[in-house]
């Protein structure tokens, strides 16, 4: 029988997958009543308030003045740019396809490692990157049919790139604060940057149906707050490279949720492209796991 701690990790991972699997469907429902920018702002106003309650209960460190530009940059990439691009992208991309394209983050991380951080990238990683990009192209081309390639898919890829930039910066500066503290300030700073879209939000809130209110509230509490806290707990228990393997269940979960709640049926090419993207990302992470294991043996 698995230990109690193992069961906690399993349940935490399942919770994260369900939360992030719901996110594309919640966005699609929210977009029926809200402008993409207003949807991002309202979602993170709710998330910010929820994180404030948690921070008040748990207690977090005050940020150093010298770190404010870094925290603003983290908020820009993780919240502002990522979710604005994601919301505008989902105007023309199905929820299932969006979840697949969002999983291309590790591919962009490999490109950033080479071109920005000047790290050595092996031939195998280059192969995985090109294979993943080929799969993403199939997803974009097949979502609406070969004759109608929608450029909105490029915005989902921009969201994945933005998340890669956030992850790279967060990884290099995570030693400065605890996981909860870093998540709180990232969410709050990103929300502050989104306040430029505040005009007109109150009118949309007043006119939005109850279904949109529920969807946005769920987005703010679960994928934008609780899922990050649960994921931070998972990463404290096991290695990130191993934990991230489970996230490949997110696109199938997102497709299932979209099928039930939205009646979406993914096109065959989207499924094929999804398999290619996920295989490439899995292969990329398997190489990382092997490298970590080899280093630990030395």
| pLDDT-wise least confident of 40-44, 54-58, 76-80, 249-253 | 249-253
What pLDDT score was predicted for residue 294?
A: 47
Residue 214, classed as helix, strand or coil, is helix
Structural domain boundaries enclosing 201: 4-105+149-265
Residue with tokens 């590790």: 106
Residue 204: pLDDT over 80: yes
Report the number of distinct structural domains present in the chain. Answer: 1
Say if 131 falls within a structural domain.
no
**Which pLDDT score is estimated for 152?**
82
- Residue 90 in any domain: the answer is yes
For residue 281, pLDDT beyond 90 = no
**pLDDT per residue over 152-173, tens digit each?**
888 998 998 998 888 888 877 7
The two structure tokens encoding residue 273:
């492209």
Q: Which residue in the block uniquely carries the two structure tokens 């490109």?
A: 111
Confidence of residue 295 (pLDDT cuts 50, 70, 90): very low
Residue 286, domain member (yes or no): no
**pLDDT of res. 1:** 54
In a domain, 258, yes or no: yes
Residue 204 lies inside a defined structural domain of this protein? yes
d(CA 73, CA 11): 32
Query: Cα(55)–Cα(42) distance, rounded to whole angstroms?
Result: 20
Within a domain: residue 122? no
Rounded Cα distance, 265 and 272, in Å? 14
Contact 262, 292 (CB under 8 A): no
Cβ within 8 Å of residue 6, ≥6 positions away: none
Helix pair 123-143, 95-102: axis angle to 10 deg: 170
Cα separation of the two ends of the chain: 32
Q: Tokens standing for 38?
A: 């207003």
Question: Residue 150's pLDDT is what?
Answer: 65
State yes or no: pLDDT of 106 exceeds 80: no
Q: How confident is the model at residue 298 (pLDDT cuts 50, 70, 90)?
A: very low
Whether the per-residue pLDDT at 210 is higher than 90: the answer is yes
pLDDT band at 175 (very low <50, low <70, confident <90, very high): confident
Contacts of 219 (CB under 8 A, 6+ apart): 22, 23, 26, 27, 30, 43, 46
Band (93; pLDDT cuts 50, 70, 90): confident
Q: Is residue 76 part of a domain?
A: yes
pLDDT in tens, 113-162: 767 766 777 788 788 888 888 888 888 777 766 555 567 888 998 998 99
Report the pLDDT value the prediction gives residue 4, as an integer from 0 to 100: 72
- Residues 30-36, mean pLDDT to the nearest whole number: 95
Q: Which among 223, 215, 162, 214 is positioned nearest to 21, based on CA atoms?
A: 223
pTM score, whole prediction: 0.85
Which pLDDT value is given to residue 289? 53
| Percent of the chain with pLDDT strictly greater than 90 | 41
* Token pair listed for 161: 């790139």
pLDDT at 34 over 90: yes
* pLDDT averaged over every residue in the chain: 85
42 in any annotated domain: yes
């Amino acid at each position: 029988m698995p230990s109690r701690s193992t069961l906690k990790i399993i349940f935490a991972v399942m919770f994260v997958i369900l939360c992030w699997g719901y996110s594309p469907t919640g966005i699609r429902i929210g977009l029926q009543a809200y402008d993409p920018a207003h949807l991002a702002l309202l979602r993170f106003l709710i998330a910010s308030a929820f994180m404030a309650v948690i921070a008040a209960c748990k207690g977090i460190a005050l940020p150093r003045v010298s770190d404010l530009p870094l925290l603003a940059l983290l908020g820009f990439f993780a919240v502002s740019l990522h979710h604005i691009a994601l919301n505008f992208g989902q105007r023309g991309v199905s929820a299932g396809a969006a979840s697949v394209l969002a999983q291309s983050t590790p591919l962009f991380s490999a490109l950033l490692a080479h071109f920005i951080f000047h790290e050595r990238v092996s031939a195998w990683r280059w192969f995985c990157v090109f294979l993943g990009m080929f799969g993403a192209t199939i997803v974009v081309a097949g979502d609406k049919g070969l004759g109608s390639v929608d450029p909105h898919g490029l915005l989902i890829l921009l969201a994945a790139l933005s998340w890669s930039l956030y992850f790279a910066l967060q990884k290099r500066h995570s030693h400065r604060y605890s996981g909860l503290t870093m998540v709180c300030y990232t969410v709050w700073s990103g929300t502050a940057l989104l306040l430029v879209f505040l005009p007109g939000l109150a009118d949309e809130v007043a006119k939005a149906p109850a279904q949109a209110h529920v969807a946005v509230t769920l987005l703010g509490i679960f994928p934008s707050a609780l899922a990050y806290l649960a994921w931070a707990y998972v990463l404290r228990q096991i290695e990130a490279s191993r934990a991230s393997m489970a996230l490949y269940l997110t696109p199938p979960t997102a497709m299932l949720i979209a099928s039930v709640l939205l009646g979406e049926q993914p096109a065959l090419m989207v499924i094929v492209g999804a398999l290619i993207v996920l295989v490439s990302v899995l292969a990329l992470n398997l190489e990382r796991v092997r490298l970590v294991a080899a280093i630990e043996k030395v």
